[in-house]
Chain A
Amino acid sequence: MTKITSVVVWIVVAAVGAFAFAALALGHGESVSAAWLVTAALAVYFIAYRFYGKYIAERVLQLDDSRVTPALRHNDGMDYVPTNKWVLYGHHFAAIAGAGPLVGPVLAAQMGYLPGTLWILAGVVVAGAVQDFIVLFASVRRDGKSLGEMIKMELGPVPGSLALVGVLAIMIIILAVLSLVVVKALTASPWGLFTIAATVPIALIMGVYMRVLRPGRVGEASAIGVVLLLASLVFGQTVANDPVWGPAFTLTGTQLAWALIGYGAVASSLPVWLMLAPRDYLSTFLKIGTVVALAIGIYVVAPPLAMPQTTRFLDGSGPVFAGALFPFLFITIACGAVSGFHSLISSGTTPKMIERESHMRLIGFGGMLAESFVAIMAICAACVLQPGVYFAMNAPAAVIGTTAAQAAQVISNWGFTITPDMIAQTAKDIGETTILSRAGGAPTLAVGMAQILAQAIGGKAMEALWYHFAILFEALFILTAVDAGTRVGRFMIQDMLGHVYRPLGNTELLPANFLATGLCVALWGYFLYQGVVDPLGGINTLWQLFGVGNQMLAGIALLLCSSVLVKMKRERYAWVTLVPTAWLLVTTLTAGIQKIFHSDPRIGFLALANKFSEAAAHGTVLAPAKSIGEMQRVAFNNYLDAAVCAVFVALVLAMCVFAIKICVQALRQAQPSAVEIPPLASAQALPA
């Protein structure tokens, strides 16, 4: 492209973006099409990628294609494989994008579509994409080492071990909250539960097919799997209407929680080829397919955003989660803006497949932009719903009651007009008995997606099918995450137990495996169960705990990135990571401390715990608890949540101290001190 064409193209992109933002900002009082939101986001991504991504690649990191990447150095045809950059882009995207970018933005939509959108766009450019990119870079320059190993190398062994403890704690909370999302989506939903349950035998059939019947023919097995999956989706409606099977698949929240706990324990103990691998292929197909379909759907249908730009809940009085815009918006939307968990992926498989250093801009920076785009689409899906429907689905029963009439009255009083008939009709359209208090993001997103996709294909008649397709899509990859996450958690626990008593660390030893698996499942299962029986809905507690943990991990990863830049003697560019680090520390420490100490029992864990334990001591039962025993449980759980939150806060403060110490040392030295593979060694590794 000549210079002039390039200038013209980028002026056009900027103009389109500015126009889209103007449409969003000036459309006061009348509804704006969701397509404008998506267009504005795309313009931001392109400009950020072209200018800021390039700046980081060329100036800050000084990517060098003459260096040999781990994929080329160790090329073994299996783990270390140089891969086409667009293929790896898709692969990396599939690995980072999960339920996170779908749930957070839906919850944050209670404040209107604008706050969430602006944070997602600003957060991804300044923090999220930068983190993923630089962690990937650091890992590639360190032979594909993991985040924990890199922290050990660059910051020292103590911070390395602390980071591992933090990662395990976050993982437990993630597994609990993701399972809770599934429970909320499938409670009293026989159609949904049947399709999800059917994925288990489907995965087993695929696993046996590609291991025993036609070894290695993964493609054939996947085709069979997709066909069976769609068949079960259609057949689910028949099952739900069946007088015998319908009630059999209608489970309560607690029953589902136990089922998931059992599933997690069994699935993570099976050989990987039997269930995890085939299920992962299925969920990856669905994930990429659905994201593309939704993007096309939003442009084809161009649905108007029914949610206002901002709502009165900016002040922290919202029913979906409590707490004001600052700091709680910034921990509610984690994935999509910046997600600490990505630092584990960017230092996992992906660095072992990078062919050239210059590809990292597309894969690291660009991959995160794509995830952010998913989050924007989730906001669109939530905000095309009538706000009344949105609040009916997301506010807990303790606030809006359990009947459509009560809910309609409460929500209409907030200023979002809705009738009991509208609530009932929405449930009927999607083939469910009720939509009330289905917090957790997945069902809201599914209703939004169903309304968008049904307008594109199939009309009202297809809406129920699209809804259950969307639920299937989300539940499938959450269950994969539960399975894979339990395994990873088990290994981490075994690693730690091995330091206490050696045989417990032996992964070949069956009893040791069972013990560690049991511990891992018990840990997340406890939080899940607590969330399910929590009369306030559970999501508003667990999701914020997860948000704090995830953003703290991002803070730790960015502290590592800053230290690496300083140790490379690139301190003049360190602002690139220091700015997002500072922002993450400010928001998450504020949020963490508020979650522990805030005097409002809706926000502070301790305040709520004290309120309940004091009342219990006086023998008074506070709603929504029903007995003194329940009161004591609420109090205990909130003390526990406060303790977990305190661990996150302490961890990130400790990491901060370690990082500052290392940076001060590095600044005093005249020579770079980062532990990289030197370019000379990488050149020598090249065969002539």
Chain B
Amino acid sequence: MSRSVGHPADPGAPAAPHAAADAPPSRQTRRARLAAALHAAHRNYLHLFGIPDYERYLAHMTQAHPGEPRLSRREFCAHAIDRKYSRNGPRCC
């Protein structure tokens, strides 16, 4: 079962380094942490505005349907936008 991706508190968030809890973080770890935080922020930003998230789709496919053919970025985004707007519920008044 895959949890939400891009969640800042998600232990499975990509590129999150495993720093030793007791040692002070080195410069490299700090930089990696910052990169991971920015990455998570960017993903959250995509989800907030309902923008298609291709990485999330890839992660999902890897986890749930390994080995199956995947849509390209172009196909995925086209498909996601068409589905979201074609028949979806109305925006509010």
A residues whose Cβ falls under 8 Å from a Cβ of B: 72, 75-79, 81-84, 86-88, 90-91, 94-100, 146, 171, 174, 178, 210-211, 215-216, 218-219, 222, 271-273, 276-277, 280-281, 284-285, 334-335, 339, 341-342, 344-345, 347-349, 355, 477, 480-481, 484-485, 487-488, 491, 546, 550, 686-687
Contact = CB atoms under 8 A, between A and B. Distances in A.
B89 A349 contact: yes
B81 A273 contact: yes
Contacts of B48: 87, 90-91, 94
The main secondary structure of chain A at its interface with chain B is helix
A43 to B, nearest CB: 26
B18 interface: no
Nearest to A347: B89
Contacts of A79: 83
Interface in B3-57: 3-4, 6-8, 42, 44-52, 54, 56-57
Contacts of B49: 91, 94, 222, 281, 284-285
A139 to B, nearest CB: 11
A222 B81 CA distance: 14
A584 to B, nearest CB: 16
Nearest to A215: B74
Contacts of A178: 93
Contacts of A77: 56-57, 59-61, 64
Interface string B44-88: 111111111010110111001000000001101111111111111
A279 B91 CA distance: 13
Which of A98, A277, A335 counts the most B-chain CB atoms under 10 A from its CB? A277
B86 A272 contact: yes
A559 B48 CA distance: 31
Given A94-B49, A277-B85, A84 B92 contact: no
20 contacts: A72-B1, A78-B79, A78-B80, A81-B4, A84-B47, A94-B49, A95-B92, A96-B92, A98-B93, A99-B93, A171-B90, A174-B93, A210-B77, A211-B78, A215-B77, A216-B54, A219-B45, A277-B85, A349-B89, A484-B91
B51 A485 contact: no
Contacts of A342: 92
Contacts of A334: 93
Contacts of A484: 85, 90-91
A84 B82 contact: no
A341 B47 contact: no
B4 A83 contact: yes
Contacts of B77: 210-211, 215-216, 218
A86 B85 CA distance: 23
Contacts of B83: 78-79
Nearest to A277: B81
The main secondary structure of chain B at its interface with chain A is helix
Nearest to B50: A91
A398 B43 CA distance: 53
Contacts of B74: 215-216
Contacts of A91: 47-50
Given A272-B82, A491-B87, A341 B93 contact: yes
A82 B93 contact: no
A687 B3 CA distance: 13
Contacts of B52: 216, 218
Nearest to A550: B93
Given A216-B77, A272-B85, 12 more contacts: A77-B59, A77-B60, A81-B4, A83-B47, A84-B4, A210-B77, A276-B85, A284-B49, A349-B89, A481-B90, A481-B92, A485-B91
Nearest to A207: B81
Contacts of B82: 271-273
A348 B57 contact: no
Contacts of A90: 48
A81 B2 CA distance: 9
A277 B4 contact: no
A219 B81 contact: no
B93 A339 contact: yes
Which of A77, A280, A348 counts the most B-chain CB atoms under 10 A from its CB? A77
B27 to A, nearest CB: 29
Which of A84, A218, A271, A342 counts the most B-chain CB atoms under 10 A from its CB? A84
Contacts of A215: 73-74, 77-78
Contact of B50 (A82, A210, A284): A284
A81 to B, nearest CB: 7
A22 B8 CA distance: 41
- Pairs A-B, 4 closest by C-beta atoms: A348-B89, A77-B60, A216-B77, A215-B74
Which of B48, B52, B78, B84 counts the most A-chain CB atoms under 10 A from its CB? B48
A171 B82 CA distance: 22
B93 A686 contact: no
Given A94-B49, A178-B93, A481-B90, A355 B3 contact: yes
A100 B93 contact: yes
A666 B44 CA distance: 43
A484 B81 CA distance: 13
A606 to B, nearest CB: 27
Nearest to B44: A87
B11 to A, nearest CB: 14
A474 to B, nearest CB: 12
A374 to B, nearest CB: 11
B59 to A, nearest CB: 8
Contacts of A485: 90-91
A95 B4 contact: no
Contacts of B3: 82, 355
B1 A95 contact: no
A285 B45 CA distance: 11
A487 B86 contact: yes
A342 B82 CA distance: 23
Given A77-B61, A87-B48, A216-B73, A98 B91 contact: yes
A289 to B, nearest CB: 11
B30 to A, nearest CB: 24
Contacts of B88: 348-349, 488
A280 B44 CA distance: 18
Nearest to A89: B48
Nearest to B49: A284
Contacts of A78: 57, 79-80, 83
A469 B54 CA distance: 33
